[in-house]
Structure 1
Amino acid sequence: MNETSGNHLNEKQSVLKNIFNRDFVVSAIIPIIIFAAFDNFKMTLLGIILSGVWCLGVVLINYIIERKINALAVIAGAFSAIGLIGTVISRDPTFYLVAPIVQDFLGAFVFFGSLFFERSLIQIIVEQSYLKNVPEAFKQTSRYKSAWRILTCVWGIMNISQAVVRIALLASVSMSSYYAISMVYGSIATPILLVVSMTFPKWYWNRGKTTNSLSKKLAVENKD
């Protein structure tokens, strides 16, 4: 019992470390500090531009260091660049703040749209970075495919709910509060879902094996 509790505690600590780590500070906290500092001196536009440049720089530096193309990072970087360019051209900070809402809705569209393909977007992301040695025969089973379809729906729903939360915040709180909450929320929600995307499939597949074993056992008992 104590060993099981210790394992659960270690798993929770591991998840927290994966979320609240150096990347969280660099990609979420520092941009908030940059924006808040300039917004406090009534230089909101400059704060938005500098924090946007910082976020875009983090994505580019991570790519240079890791030399890997992460689909989620590419999407985030692309929208950060679009939002930044649009803000500079329009000279309106709201443009940059609205960009993540558009990103959320388009992200949901992409995730739900990927259900019509052989491999969904989240399946591609996790297979490239985590599940590299899965037997090809198992990849063709319905149990393997259904796990990714469930996760894809979860990602799509998460993006829609995130957009709704951001819209509500944008309409009800100050610009600086919206920016801070939006950044922190996005930086926490995405890593949590990535952890779930890495752990859920194995649980789902093992659950399927257990269910099949029980069904076979019951079938044998009924025959007897």
Structure 2
Amino acid sequence: MIRIGGVLVSPGEGGVYGERMIDGYRVWDPYRSKFAAYALLGGERDLAPEMRVLYLGAANGTTVSHVADYVEVVYAVEFAPRPMQDLIEVCRHRRNIVPIMADAGRPELYAGIVEEADLLYQDVAQPDQVAIALRNVPLLRPGGTLMLMLKTRSVDVRLSPQDVADEAVRALEEGGMRVAEVLWLEPYHRDHAAIVCEAIK
């Protein structure tokens, strides 16, 4: 991904959410995007032009729009009607985003319209975040990558964030994933961890 003077940027048309521009590139704010935080904190996974991305928890399309600047297509799944309205507006300016209004926990509802994904990116703040991710893994291509942005406080506030992350790693491994990387997203996102996995096939 592109950096200008240490600032993460993306190469698409600006004006999506009032983001700053540098030399014609959009500034990708790590405080507004967990993917940007992951990249700036040294995350090992990159985006490539030929990638197909299945994005769960698209919200209003802020991060989706930056990802779309880098990849071939983004299948953006969002359940809530109000954010979906904003996401559809983002899609008017980025033809490589496919908005899908559906429950990410029920991938059978959209499996028929999604191409095999190179990257499954999940940012769904639910107690069953890991289970939702595993239900969507069959939509990954062999050797594809799962990036789970784990919001530990949404899983169990009684446990420490580290304990929640450790349990998530165990569950992912039991679900047939090889965990390659766990990266905490402080100072940008408190009690969030990016868990990067590959399917064992």
TM-score range, shorter chain: under 0.3
- Higher strand residue share: 2
Which of the pair has more CA radius of gyration?
1
Where relative contact order (Cα < 8 A, 6+ residues apart) is larger, the structure is 1
TM-score scaled by structure 2? 0.26
TM-score scaled by structure 1? 0.25
- Higher helix residue share: 1
